Amino acid sequence: MKQSSDITTFSDLFCGIGGFHYAANQLGLECVFACDIDQACREQYKHNFGFEPAADIKLVRAEEVPDHDVLFAGFSCQPFSIIGDRRGLDDRRGTLYHEILRIVSVKKPKALVLENVRQFSTNSNGRALNAVLVSLSNFGYSCQWKILNALDFGLPQKRERVIVVGLLRPGVMDLFQWPKPIPNYKPLADVLEQNPAQRHFASETIRKKRMSRHLPKTSPAIWHENKGGNVSSSPFSCVLRANASHNYLLVDGERRLTPREQLRLQGFPESFEVIGSDSQIRKQVGNAVPIPMIRSVVEGVLSAHSQIKMLPRFLHSRRKSTKRHLRGLMPYLS
């Protein structure tokens, strides 16, 4: 679906290898700014999009960021994730949302889409998420958030993420519709390579040891082996993780996922060219966003904004005033 609103440009904060970029490009949007502190990600991004991201967002003045219509940000998830230590707001990376708010407060994009792990909604009793929502409201944004699962958008991967959507006008979020899940799950077999390189396979000794500990119910299946050596299997992949050195995802207990298979699990196209080592791409893909899921959300944003353009501005003010008036009456109505 081509976008029909006047949203045509985007900025891509904490861009990684470009999941947001692909989703936005598919809808006809043009990137005007990107940044990521990881050099390998920046090189991968430039190689595939021909666009060179800036490095540390903290060194970028908001005024230096080009004007843009929509802001995307999948900020660092390690402080909040299950695989991390869940330090949340006590981790320097856990307060990177301040950098997003700094850019938003100056550039005031028409819309924004933020992404983080499910635990972002509960860590520190939800303080980080609430701080983001309150700040965006103070900047004039209507906001909603929801937990979405990549499994519901045509990817054989159980990956739950908090998605925050904001529109720059109060009282308009009823125009935004969250995407509906795709009815049938995509099978794991659809993303597996037919002849993976031998380097991805475990030795015969290790494979026999795993087989002695687990009897799968389906094949092909993703086996998950944790630090303690416990093995479980599923017809769908567990979430791809960036720094899971002791959590292995294995195809039928025999081998690791190849870089191409990992990219497919996130919805990256076959045209995406991999540069760097297998370990680098594993980390990069683990930090990426599921492209079909993000695209569906952005489609909803574009649709909502095309409707907002048709509404008289006074209607938003009246809607906001009416809500304030009703809140004021609640003590007397109860």
The DSSP line for 244-294 is: -TT-EEEETTTEEPPHHHHHHHTT--TTPPP-S-HHHHHHHHHTS--HHHH
Q: Which of 31, 41, 77, 143 is catalytic?
A: 77
Alpha helices in the chain (DSSP H): 19-25, 39-49, 97-107, 127-138, 204-213, 259-265, 278-286, 291-308, 313-333
Residue whose structure tokens are 């475990």: 202
> Is-catalytic flag, 35?
no
Answer yes or no: are the C-beta atoms of 168 and 105 closer than 8 Å. Answer: no
Answer yes or no: are the C-beta atoms of 24 and 10 closer than 8 Å. Answer: yes
Could you tell me the sign of the dihedral formed by the alpha carbons of 203, 206, 211, 217, in that order? negative
Burial class, 319, CB count within 10 angstroms (exposed 0-12 / middle 13-18 / buried 19+): middle
Instruction: Report the distance separating Cα 52 and Cα 38, nearest Å.
Output: 12
- Radius of gyration, alpha carbons of the chain: 21
Residue whose structure tokens are 């597996």: 192
Instruction: Report the distance separating Cα 319 and Cα 316, nearest Å.
Output: 5
Answer yes or no: are the C-beta atoms of 38 and 60 closer than 8 Å. Answer: no
Q: Which residues are catalytic?
A: 77
